[in-house]
């Protein structure tokens, strides 16, 4: 960091978990002045109150358009802002859009100082997306297991099968129909609801 | 061979020609395999178009111009070969502000000069008693909404930068912000004005067609470089959008169109609200007053799809008037060249359009007729503005 003080960074993100992951990463990298805004109402006033050098916002946030107002020269805007757009660095822009994050520099912070911040945000955003994906998959696997257990129960009762036999029947049907076992189990549940 | 295309859009009724082109199969009939990507902000649409994640986009006409001029952002030349909609916005005010304006109005409530003058009196009275300035929501700094609000209030003597606050709000937040008193009014496209009226928290004060008879609103935008590399694909896309716009304008198709647009992955609002917008038959106040206008939103009729460079010049003039862009002949030329009637004509096999010159197609309620050939002279006719020449 050298003699220069750590730039003030504001994270605008409605997801508290992702913001926490980002904040932690930034602090670990030595950026100590990090704050987080999760409430979108009156966003500009909140940002001005914190008076940051860098603003980081997720691309799924409709309030990105609100930040665009800070580019404008008007009475309401105290310090000019620029998006991190380095025309010579298309890869960086692409990576940040892919990761779903965007960064704005306030009042002429040097580009070299933003780069490590942006890179860190990109990697943390990607890490969060991976985590979210794993969580979603684990959840759906758990859901599937519950559905399969109930379908097995129905088959055991209706056809007098053992649990293993019921599972084998589900699996062979799924293979024959080129579907997932969870889908076959779900259709058994639906059918049994209808036939009640 | 089908050509895969990714096209970004914002869930608004004026994305209709694009959505119907895809969902009714007009793009498929042209050999295009279009994936529509719903976006949450104009910044995202612009950036994803600029860096090539989108091949085309539903875009605010002024953003296409600002991007081509490199205003406040990276400069990426954009072309607009098809107008997705003309007009379609409305100004909605809170019940309290509506009552204040109606108490001050001297004249017809649908006359924008009468309401603008009434607004000026409301603003003056508020200042006198030390009340907070009124806050108006709009969707983007480079938006028709921004310019339409400014044009209207300035005609009545209200300085949009000094006398009131103009704030950017994402369209889906407009209604909440009005309900919570964070804004006193907003200018936005359909369906949000109707949503506010239906909730009983807003009155539609004006259709934008009261302010400007004909205003380019959203365009089908592509990168200029992409248009040069993919002329046939672009022509196919223009034809599909054109056919969709004609389909939408047939009253007999409206119910089907409204259902199509209402789908959750498209606009995701009540089909009934969408149909009212397309029909130009809107409830304008919570007590049920209805207002009809054949000009509320023009999708395909009156040659709405054909881009008109004079419209682009008018939008550029507003950027100049409000200090967003310097005035210069070259910038004007760049702005006008964003709108490409030649590509439209060629795609549809129309004879080369007659030179339509620089005459006024705007029909503004105040000021002299617009003259694209003399923007400085035109702007000099307006008392309020921040143009730097």
A165: CATH: 1.10.10.10
Of A62, A85, A94, the CB nearest to B41: A62
What pLDDT does B358 receive? 57
Cβ neighbours, 10 Å, residue B245 = 25
- Specify whether A95 is located in the same domain as A179: no
Do residues B56 and B22 make contact, with C-beta atoms less than 8 angstroms apart? no
- What would the pLDDT profile of B51-73 be if each residue is shown by its tens digit? 899 999 999 999 999 999 998 77
Burial classification of residue B253, based on how many CB atoms lie within 10 Å of its CB (0-12 exposed, 13-18 middle, 19 or more buried): middle
Domain endpoint, select from A103, A133, A163: A133
Burial B12-31 (b: 16+ CB within 10 A, else e): bbbbbbbbbbbbbebbeebe
What pLDDT does A3 receive? 57
Say yes or no: B268 contacts chain A, CB-CB below 8 A. Answer: no
What pLDDT does A87 receive? 53
Task: Name every chain B residue with its beta carbon within 8 A of the beta carbon of A94.
Answer: 51
Residue range(s) defining the domain that contains residue A19: 9-133
Say yes or no: B70 contacts chain A, CB-CB below 8 A. Answer: no
- Specify whether A22 is located in the same domain as A112: yes
pLDDT(B1) > 70: no
- pLDDT bin (cut points 50, 70, 90) of residue B224 is very high
Stretch(es) of chain B classified as CATH 3.40.190.10:
3-86+216-267+300-380, 89-211
A50 or B82: which carries more pLDDT confidence?
B82
A170 in any annotated domain: yes
- What would the pLDDT profile of A111-165 be if each residue is shown by its tens digit? 677 778 888 888 888 888 888 888 888 888 888 899 999 999 999 999 999 999 9
A20 in any annotated domain: yes
Question: Chain A interface, mutation test: which of B44, B60, B186, most A Cβ atoms within 10 Å?
Answer: B44
Q: What are phi and psi for residue A126, nearest 5 degrees?
A: -65, -40
Domain B3-86+216-267+300-380 has CATH 3.30.2130.30: no
Which pair of tokens denotes residue B26? 């007009």
What pLDDT does A193 receive? 85
Task: Name every chain A residue with its beta carbon within 8 A of the beta carbon of B173.
Answer: 40, 62-63
Yes or no, beta carbons of A66 and B53 under 8 Å apart? no
- Specify whether A153 is located in the same domain as A103: no
- Specify whether A63 is located in the same domain as A101: yes
pLDDT(B85) > 50: yes
For range A79-97, the mean pLDDT: 64
- pLDDT bin (cut points 50, 70, 90) of residue A1 is very low
Burial classification of residue A29, based on how many CB atoms lie within 10 Å of its CB (0-12 exposed, 13-18 middle, 19 or more buried): middle
- pLDDT bin (cut points 50, 70, 90) of residue A74 is low
- Specify whether A80 is located in the same domain as A45: yes
A162 in any annotated domain: yes
Yes or no, beta carbons of B167 and A68 under 8 Å apart? no
Question: Chain B interface, mutation test: which of A40, A45, A65, most B Cβ atoms within 10 Å?
Answer: A65
| CA distances (Å), origin A169, targets A153, A160, B98, B296 | 12, 12, 68, 61
3-state secondary structure of B131: coil
To the nearest whole number, what is the mean pLDDT of chain B? Answer: 94
- Specify whether A102 is located in the same domain as A161: no
Domain endpoint, select from A117, A133, A149: A133
Domain endpoint, select from A85, A107, A133: A133
For range B361-385, the mean pLDDT: 94
- What would the pLDDT profile of B270-310 be if each residue is shown by its tens digit? 999 999 999 999 999 999 999 999 999 999 999 999 999 99
Closest residue in A to B46 (Cα–Cα): A65
Say yes or no: B161 contacts chain A, CB-CB below 8 A. Answer: yes
Question: Chain A interface, mutation test: which of B6, B40, B53, B143, most A Cβ atoms within 10 Å?
Answer: B40
What pLDDT does B317 receive? 98
Of B74, B141, B162, the CB nearest to A85: B74
N-terminal to C-terminal alpha carbon distance within chain B: 52
Closest Cα partner for B237 from B340, B143, B354, B353? B340
- Specify whether A114 is located in the same domain as A28: yes
Rounded-to-integer distance, Cα B382 and Cα A85, Å: 35
| CATH number of residue A59's parent domain | 3.40.50
A2 in any annotated domain: no
Yes or no, beta carbons of B73 and A83 under 8 Å apart? yes
DSSP code for B303: G
B364 or A115: which carries more pLDDT confidence?
B364
- Specify whether A151 is located in the same domain as A99: no
- Specify whether A181 is located in the same domain as A125: no
Taking the whole predicted model, whether its pTM rises above 0.90 is answered as no
Do residues B118 and B377 make contact, with C-beta atoms less than 8 angstroms apart? no
Measure A142 CA to nearest chain B CA, in Å.
27
Domain B89-211 adopts which CATH fold?
A: D-Maltodextrin-Binding Protein; domain 2 (3.40.190)
Yes or no, beta carbons of A65 and B140 under 8 Å apart? yes
Number of separate domains in chain A: 2
- Specify whether A53 is located in the same domain as A127: yes
What pLDDT does B385 receive? 93
- Specify whether A144 is located in the same domain as A129: no
A123 or B255: which carries more pLDDT confidence?
B255
A4 in any annotated domain: no
| CA distances (Å), origin A42, targets A48, B48, B180 | 10, 26, 12
């Amino acid at each position: 960091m050298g003699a220069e003080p750590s730039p003030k960074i504001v994270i605008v993100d409605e997801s508290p978990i992702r913001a926490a992951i980002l904040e932690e990463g930034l602090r670990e990298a030595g950026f100590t002045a990090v704050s987080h805004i999760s409430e979108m109402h009156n966003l500009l006033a909140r940002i001005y109150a914190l008076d940051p050098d860098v603003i980081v916002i997720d691309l799924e946030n409709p309030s990105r358009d609100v930040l665009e107002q800070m580019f404008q020269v008007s009475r309401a805007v105290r310090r000019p802002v620029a998006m991190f757009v380095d025309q010579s660095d298309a890869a960086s822009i692409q990576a940040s859009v892919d990761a779903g994050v965007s960064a704005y520099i306030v009042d002429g912070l040097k580009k070299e100082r933003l780069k490590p911040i942006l890179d860190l945000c990109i990697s943390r955003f990607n890490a969060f997306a991976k985590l979210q994906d794993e969580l979603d998959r684990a959840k759906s696997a758990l859901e599937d297991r519950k559905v399969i257990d109930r379908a097995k129960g129905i088959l055991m009762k209706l056809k007098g099968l053992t649990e293993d036999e019921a599972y084998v029947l589900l699996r062979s049907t799924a293979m024959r129909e080129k579907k997932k076992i969870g889908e076959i189990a779900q259709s058994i549940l639906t059918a049994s609801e209808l036939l009640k | 061979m089908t050509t895969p295309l990714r096209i970004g859009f914002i869930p608004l009724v004026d994305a209709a020609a694009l959505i119907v082109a895809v969902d009714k199969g007009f793009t498929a009939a042209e050999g295009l395999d279009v994936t529509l990507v719903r976006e949450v902000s104009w910044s995202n649409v612009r950036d994803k178009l600029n860096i090539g994640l989108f091949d085309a986009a539903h875009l605010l006409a002024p953003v296409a111009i600002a991007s081509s001029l490199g205003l406040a952002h990276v400069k990426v030349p954009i072309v607009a070969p098809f107008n997705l909609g003309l007009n379609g916005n409305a100004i909605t005010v809170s019940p309290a502000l509506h009552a204040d304006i109606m108490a001050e109005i001297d004249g017809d409530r649908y006359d924008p000069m009468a309401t603008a003058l009434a607004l000026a009196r409301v603003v003056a009275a508020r200042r006198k008693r030390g009340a907070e300035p009124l806050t108006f929501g709009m969707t983007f700094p480079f938006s028709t909404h921004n310019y339409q609000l400014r044009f209207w209030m300035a005609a009545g003597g209200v300085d949009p930068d000094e006398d009131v606050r103009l704030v950017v709000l994402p369209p889906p937040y407009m209604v909440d912000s009005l309900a919570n008193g964070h804004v006193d009014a907003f200018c936005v496209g359909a369906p949000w004005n109707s949503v506010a009226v239906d909730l009983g928290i807003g009155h539609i004060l004006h259709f934008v067609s009261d302010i400007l008879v004909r205003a380019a609103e959203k365009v089908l935008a592509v990168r200029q470089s992409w248009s040069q590399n993919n002329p046939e694909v672009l022509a196919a896309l223009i034809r599909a959008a054109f056919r969709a716009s004609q389909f939408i304008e047939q009253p007999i198709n409206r119910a089907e169109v409204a259902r199509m647009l209402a789908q959750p992955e498209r606009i995701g609002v009540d089909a009934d609200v969408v149909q009212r917008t397309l029909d130009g038959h809107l409830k304008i106040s919570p007590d049920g007053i209805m207002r009809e206008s054949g000009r509320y939103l023009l999708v395909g009729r009156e040659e709405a799809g054909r881009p008109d460079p004079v419209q682009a010049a008018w939008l550029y003039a507003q950027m100049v008037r409000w200090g967003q862009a310097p005035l210069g002949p070259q910038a004007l030329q760049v702005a006008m060249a964003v709108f490409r009637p030649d590509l439209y004509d060629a795609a549809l096999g129309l004879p080369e359009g007659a030179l339509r010159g620089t005459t006024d197609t705007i029909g503004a309620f105040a000021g002299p007729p617009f003259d694209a050939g003399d923007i400085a002279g035109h702007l000099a006719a307006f008392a309020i503005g921040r143009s730097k020449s």
